[in-house]
Amino acid sequence: MPVSIAVIDPGHPHLAARVTNIDIAAGVSHEEAVAVEAAIDQFAVLVFPEQNITDDQQYDFSAHFGRMETATGDVAAPQERRLSMKMNDISNLDRDGRVVARDDRRRLFSLGNMLWHSDSSFKATPAKFSLLYARQIPATGGETEFADMRAAFDALEPSMQEQCRPLITEHSQLYSRGLLGFDDFSEDDKKKWAPVLQRLVRVHPSTGRESLYLSAHIGAIQGWPVPEARMFIRDLTEHATQRQFVYTHHWQQYDLLMWDNRTTMHRARRYDHTQVRDLRRTTVACEAPTVAGQEEPDQRVAAYTG
């Protein structure tokens, strides 16, 4: 039976579809992977409900879609990690499976996921797709929201679109965490996360559609005074995250979500931090940087290349 694709919310006919008739644990065929990529090109966010999968099965499925990232965007030291470097640990658990304390550095860093962002925009070659799997979810809260950056670009005045097209922005995790007053970075973190350049307007390689490439990681626009740049990005972000552009995902255990970071931003919502939330992310990299000729931040610190 072919993979089934259905719009989730008729209010958002172009954002977010549910994918069924696919068994990820069993391993998917090339044809099924092609159907999934065609669907994400159209809907930008896909929900695969009721997938009972291991980390390896999640990784193998993700690897159909391109080169895999390693979890070098995480702040946990290698000896503190709960999961392998193949997985981004989007949980509130330590390596013994205990909920971390309220003031734990890893938790405070991960609160940055509650700011609207696009994954790995702080890497010269940023993320193409993210795949986030729900092992365990809190009773309430902890939704994930997605904003459609194609629709947001289309809704700008033509003169504003013209102004945005040539702009180059600087992205760093030091900027996004700085917004929250988090500055507990090691010297290696600071080196590893020195700013990278990204285009503000991207063109999707398959559909040819333009979209705004926004992220909380942006701290500057090349050639602009910093306060003016930050105000401009803040205005654009307010525009792009209006409710008409947003799909809210209410998690069910065993949902796998897949989204296109080139055409959407996302953010986590609050939940009771004493309850377990165990989500795991695999990440597929883009083919190339949006601005050519940059060194990858991961390579700036030898210890983190693994």
**Residue numbers at the binding site for ligand OGA (CB under 6 A):** 90, 113, 119, 130, 132, 144, 266, 268, 279, 281
Please give the order of strands across the beta sheet that includes 144-148.
246-249, 144-148, 264-268
In whole angstroms, what is the distance from residue 114 CA to residue 136 CA?
A: 19
Q: Report whether 108 contacts 185 (CB < 8 A).
A: no
Q: Residues in the chain, how many?
A: 306
Report residue 181 as tokens. 């007053």
Q: Could you tell me the smallest distance in angstroms from the CB atom of residue 132 to ligand OGA?
A: 5
- Choose among ligand OGA, Mn ion, none what residue 264 binds, the Cβ cut-off being 5 to 8 Å by kind: none
Q: Report whether 227 contacts 102 (CB < 8 A).
A: no
The binding site for Mn ion (CB under 5 A) comprises 119
Residue nearest Mn ion, Cβ-based: 119
Q: Report whether 140 contacts 272 (CB < 8 A).
A: yes
Name the nearest CA neighbour of 116 among 278, 226, 240, 270. Answer: 240
CA 257-260-264 angle, to 5 degrees, is 105
Cβ contacts of 10 within 8 Å, gap of 6 or more = none
Q: Could you tell me the smallest distance in angstroms from the CB atom of residue 281 to ligand OGA?
A: 4
Tell me whether residue 192 or residue 280 sits nearer to ligand OGA (CB atom). 280
Tell me whether residue 112 or residue 219 sits nearer to Mn ion (CB atom). 112
Tell me whether residue 12 or residue 281 sits nearer to ligand OGA (CB atom). 281
- Choose among ligand OGA, Mn ion, none what residue 268 binds, the Cβ cut-off being 5 to 8 Å by kind: ligand OGA
Tell me whether residue 135 or residue 224 sits nearer to ligand OGA (CB atom). 135
Query: Alpha helices of the chain — where are they, by DSSP H?
Result: 30-43, 55-62, 105-110, 149-154, 158-164, 173-179, 187-192, 226-240
Tell me whether residue 74 or residue 119 sits nearer to Mn ion (CB atom). 119
β 127-136/4-7 pair status: unpaired
- Choose among Mn ion, ligand OGA, none what residue 144 binds, the Cβ cut-off being 5 to 8 Å by kind: ligand OGA
- Choose among ligand OGA, Mn ion, none what residue 137 binds, the Cβ cut-off being 5 to 8 Å by kind: none
In whole angstroms, what is the distance from residue 90 CA to residue 165 CA?
A: 33
Q: Could you tell me the smallest distance in angstroms from the CB atom of residue 144 to ligand OGA?
A: 4
Tell me whether residue 32 or residue 119 sits nearer to Mn ion (CB atom). 119
Q: Could you tell me the smallest distance in angstroms from the CB atom of residue 109 to ligand OGA?
A: 12
Residue nearest ligand OGA, Cβ-based: 268
- Choose among ligand OGA, Mn ion, none what residue 90 binds, the Cβ cut-off being 5 to 8 Å by kind: ligand OGA
Tell me whether residue 196 or residue 279 sits nearer to ligand OGA (CB atom). 279
40: left (phi over 0), alpha (psi -120 to 50) or beta: alpha
- Choose among Mn ion, ligand OGA, none what residue 281 binds, the Cβ cut-off being 5 to 8 Å by kind: ligand OGA
Report residue 219 as tokens. 């701290």
- Choose among Mn ion, ligand OGA, none what residue 148 binds, the Cβ cut-off being 5 to 8 Å by kind: none
Q: Could you tell me the smallest distance in angstroms from the CB atom of residue 117 to Mn ion?
A: 6
The phi and psi torsions of 245 (rounded to 5 degrees) equal: -100, 0
Tell me whether residue 155 or residue 276 sits nearer to ligand OGA (CB atom). 276
Name the nearest CA neighbour of 173 among 162, 186, 163. Answer: 186
Q: Strand locations in 22-126, DSSP E?
A: 45-48, 88-91
